[in-house]
Chains A and B, each alone.
Chain A
Amino acid sequence: MTKRFGALTALDDVSLRLAPGAFHAILGENGAGKSTLVKCMMGYHRADAGRLLVDGQEHQVAGPRGAHHLGFGMVYQHFTLVPSMTVAENLILGRDDLPAVVAWAAERERMEAFLRRMPFRVDLDRAAGALAAGEKQKIEILKQLFLGRRVLILDEPTSVLTPDEADQILGVLRTMAREGQVTVVLITHKFREVEAFAHEVTVLRAGRRIGGGHVKDLTRGDLVAMMIPPMLAVEALTVLDDKALTAVRELSLAVGAGEILGVAGVSGNGQRELVETLAGQRSPEAGLIRVAGERYRPTRRQMRRRRVFVLPEEPLSNACVRTMTIAENLAFRNFDEPPIAVTGGFLSRRALHDRGRELIDRFKIRAAGPDASLDTLSGGNVQRTVLARELSQSPKVLVAQNPCAGLDVAATAEIRGRIMAARNAGAAVLFLSEDLDELMELADRIVVMFEGRLVYETARAAADPHVIGHSMASHL
C-alpha cells in the first residue's frame, strides 16, 4: 500500500500479511504511518497504490462498508462512540444491515445473549458519553465483536487504559485469536503489550516497513533499534575538496544514539572534507544529512537546536581564534544567548568571565585565567578548551576527528573518557581516527574510509585489526 497526502508520502509501499487467528502488532513512532496503513485497509482512506487480498482474492474496498463486508472492523484511535446515545444504541449503530425500524425488544435480547458470552459486564442503558475511558474502550471492542468481525484492527486501544484493563482486554482478544474466532491487528507504542500478546510484529518508520517478524525472535532492543531513526545519518553524500576533486563519494553512514561509530582510514581519504561538511564549513555537492530522522543543514540555528557539536582536527586553526581570550573562545557557541548576551545586543563580560572560569575548572585547562589569550595555551590545553566548549552542552551528535593527536597519556585518557561519557549519556558519536588501537578501544562499530567511500564495516567485537589494516590500504 502507498498513500500520499499532498507532498507527504505517509505510507510508502508497505505490505502486511495476516494469517487466520494471528495477533499482529504494528509498532512505530508518532507519524510513522500506522494509522494510515490500517485506515487504507478499512477503506477510510483510498490508497494511491496497493492491493488488498482476502483469502487469496483481490478486493476493492470503496469505503468502510466495503471493509465491513469483508469482515474487517476497526477501533479507531479516537473514540467513535456517539456520546449522547446509549450503549445499546451504539452497539446496533455499526450494523451495515441496520433495519429501517429497530425492533428493540428482539435486539436487546440478542445483545444480552451476546454479552453473557463476553467477559466484560456493561450496562446497556448508560449514555456512552458518561462512561469512563476504560469502559468506552471495552464497548468499542464489544461493538466490533457484536458485529461479528473476523479481523479486528485496534489503533492504540490501550493508550487510555490502565495496565490492568489493557491486560484484561488484550488477554481476551488473544484467547479469541487462539481459538481462531478473530484475527487481531494491534497498533501500540508499548513493547510490553507486543511481547506479552502478539505473535508477529511489523515496524514502520517514516511510512516504510523497516522490519518485523515473529515476536519470539526479536528482542526489545531489536525493536527499539528498528523504530527509532539513527541520531545521525549521512545519505549519499558527495563533497569536493579545495581543488574541486571529489573527496567524498556518495557516502552513507548511520550512527545511533549512544553509539560510537569509528571511522578508520589513512588521512587524506576524505575524512577532513566529511567533517567540514558536517561542521557547516563546506557545502556538499549532493546527498543529505539527517539528525534524528529530520533533514539537517549545519546552520548555527540548527546546530544549536539539534545539539550537534564538532571536535575538528587541528583545533587551533579549525576551531579557535588564537588572538582572543580563552573565555571568548569558550563562548563561541553561546555568547549570543543569556546569560552572556544581555538586552540591547550587549555582552556581559562578567558572565563571559564566570562561564570561562567554570569550564577551565571543570575541564582542568591549565591556563593563567579566563582572560588570558588563547595563544598562551599549550597544544593539549587548546584541545581541552575546544572539548570543554563542545561537550559542555550535552551533545546529541558529536563528530570528533583525531581528538587525541599529540596529547600525553593522561590527557588522552581524559579526553577519551569524556567522549565515552557523552556516548553513555546518549550522544551519537562519529569518531574519525588514524589510530586503529584507539578505535578498537572506543568504537562500537568500525568502518574503513578509503578514497571517499566506506569500504569495510565490522562490529567492534568481531573486528580483526589485520583485516581493517588491510582494507585501509586498498579495496578488499
Chain B
Amino acid sequence: MTPDLGAWGVLIAVVGGAIRVSTPYLYVSLGETLTEKSGRVNLGLEGTLVMGAMSGYAISYLTGSPWLGVLVAGGIGAGFGLLHAAICNLPRVNDIAVGIALFLFGTGLAFFLGKPYIQPSAPRLPHLGLGAWSAYPQIRAAFEINALFVAGIVLALTLRWVFANTRWGLVVRTAGDNADAARALGYSLRGVRTLATMAGGFLAGVGGSFLSLYYPGTWNEGLSSGQGLMAIALVIFARWNPIHCFWVSLLFGAATALGPALQSIGYTSNYYLFNAAPYALTLVLLVWSSSPRHALFGAPSELTISK
C-alpha cells in the first residue's frame, strides 16, 4: 500500500523532479557560461542539445552502451561548437546570427537523422538509489539520482575553481572581458574562443544525451521543447557564475516538474498552465534582472550583447 503524503507528496515530487529535470539545464548553462566568459554567445546550444539527445540515443541503441552514447553526444556537441567558432572567426560575422542558424540546423539535422530511432528502445543510463533508506516509495523515486547530475555539481564547482585559479580560467576571462588585453598579452583570441565554444558544445551535447538516455528517456522530436534556449537565458540570471547556474537550474527543474507533480496527486485542472511554468519563469526572471539604468552586472564586456 502506498502511504498518502498529501501536500508533502507534491513537494517531494517537485524536489525529485527538479533534480531529474535540472541536469540538462545545468550542462547547457555551464557550457554557455564557459563560452560567454570567453566573449562569444552561442545560441546554437538548443540545436546542440537536440543533436546530443538524438546521437546519444542512437549510439546507445546501436552499441548497447549508454555511456558511449553520452560520450559521442558530447563529441558531436564539440563539433557543433567548432563549427560555430570557425564561422565566427571569419571577419564581420555576428555570433548571435550564427548561433540562430546552428540552432535551426542542429534541430533539423537531428530530426532528419533521428527518424529511425523514434520507435526502438535503447538501453538507458543507470541511476543511484540514494533514497533507499526511506520506506516511502515516493521518496525513493525522488532520490533516484543520475551520475550525470552528481558530475554536473562537481563540474560547476570545478569550473568556478578553474576560472579563479588556473591559467586557462584567467585567459578565458581575459578574452571575454578585455580583448585588447588578451591581444596585448599575446594570446590568440580566436584560439581561446574556439576552445571555449567547443567545450561549451561538449557539455550541451552531454546534457542532450541525458534527455534521451535518462529522463524522459526516449528520443522524439518534442524532447527538448526549448530547454536549451531557456538554459541560455538562465546564464544571464546566474550572472555567469557556475554555482549560481546550479541553483538556477534546480529552480527551472522545479518549475518544469511542477505540472507533472500536481498531476501525480490527481490535480489535473490547469495542467497545461502549470506545464508552461518554466517559460513564464524565464520571462519573469529576465524582466526582473534587467534594468534600463545599468548594464548587466557581471556580463563579460566583450559579448556582442554587452556592447
State whether B166 touches A80 (Cβ < 8 A): no
Assembled-state Cα–Cα distance A92/B183 (Å): 16
Is B134 in the interface zone, CB < 8 Å from A? no
Name A62-94 residues within 8 Å CB distance of B.
Answer: 63-66, 68, 74, 76, 78-85, 89, 92-94
Assembled-state Cα–Cα distance A63/B166 (Å): 23
Residues of A near B183 (CB, < 8 A) are: 44, 64
- Residue among A42, A85, A96, A98 making CB contact with B177, cutoff 8 Å: A85
Closest A residue to B165 by beta carbon equals A102
CB-defined interface of B140-172 with A at 8 Å, one 1/0 digit per residue?
Answer: 000000000000000000000000111110110
State whether A98 touches B184 (Cβ < 8 A): no
State whether B170 touches A44 (Cβ < 8 A): no
State whether A64 touches B165 (Cβ < 8 A): no
- Residue among B164, B171, B184, B300 making CB contact with A76, cutoff 8 Å: B184
State whether A81 touches B186 (Cβ < 8 A): no
State whether A85 touches B173 (Cβ < 8 A): yes
State whether B166 touches A102 (Cβ < 8 A): yes
State whether B181 touches A100 (Cβ < 8 A): no
Interface-central residue, B164, B167, B168, by most chain A CB under 10 Å: B167
Q: How many A-B residue pairs have CB under 8 A?
A: 67
State whether A101 touches B178 (Cβ < 8 A): no
Closest B residue to A92 by beta carbon equals B170
Assembled-state Cα–Cα distance A85/B165 (Å): 12
State whether B186 touches A80 (Cβ < 8 A): no
Query: Given A84-B177, A93-B174, are A64 and B186 also a contact pair (CB < 8 Å)?
Result: yes
Assembled-state Cα–Cα distance A66/B174 (Å): 20
Q: How large is the interface on A (under 10, 10 to 19, 20 to 34, 35 or more residues)?
A: 20 to 34
Assembled-state Cα–Cα distance A66/B166 (Å): 22
Give, as a whole number of angstroms, the nearest-CB distance from B185 to chain A: 6
Give, as a whole number of angstroms, the nearest-CB distance from A52 to chain B: 16
Closest A residue to B174 by beta carbon equals A82
> Is chain B's binding surface mostly helix, strand, loop or mixed?
helix
State whether B300 touches A100 (Cβ < 8 A): no
Assembled-state Cα–Cα distance A76/B165 (Å): 26
State whether A83 touches B186 (Cβ < 8 A): no
Closest B residue to A97 by beta carbon equals B167
Closest A residue to B37 by beta carbon equals A84
CB-defined interface of B282-307 with A at 8 Å, one 1/0 digit per residue?
Answer: 00000000000000001011000000
CB-defined interface of B92-118 with A at 8 Å, one 1/0 digit per residue?
Answer: 000000000000000000000000000
State whether A84 touches B186 (Cβ < 8 A): no
State whether A82 touches B178 (Cβ < 8 A): yes
Residues of A near B186 (CB, < 8 A) are: 43, 63-66, 68, 96
Query: Given A99-B167, A100-B166, A104-B165, are A84 and B173 also a contact pair (CB < 8 Å)?
Result: yes
Name B165-218 residues within 8 Å CB distance of A.
Answer: 165-168, 170-171, 173-174, 177-178, 180-181, 183-186
Assembled-state Cα–Cα distance A78/B179 (Å): 12
Residues of B near A94 (CB, < 8 A) are: 185
Extra 20 A-B pairs, beta carbons < 8 Å, given A83-B177, A93-B170: A44-B183, A64-B184, A64-B185, A65-B186, A76-B180, A80-B180, A80-B185, A81-B178, A82-B181, A84-B301, A85-B173, A89-B170, A92-B170, A93-B174, A93-B185, A98-B167, A100-B166, A101-B165, A102-B165, A102-B167
9 A-B interface contacts by CB (under 8 A): A79-B178, A80-B180, A80-B184, A80-B185, A82-B173, A82-B178, A98-B167, A100-B166, A100-B167
Residues on B facing A (Cβ under 8 Å): 164-168, 170-171, 173-174, 177-178, 180-181, 183-186, 298, 300-301
The 9 closest A-B pairs by CB, nearest first: A64-B186, A65-B186, A80-B181, A98-B167, A82-B177, A82-B178, A63-B186, A80-B184, A82-B174
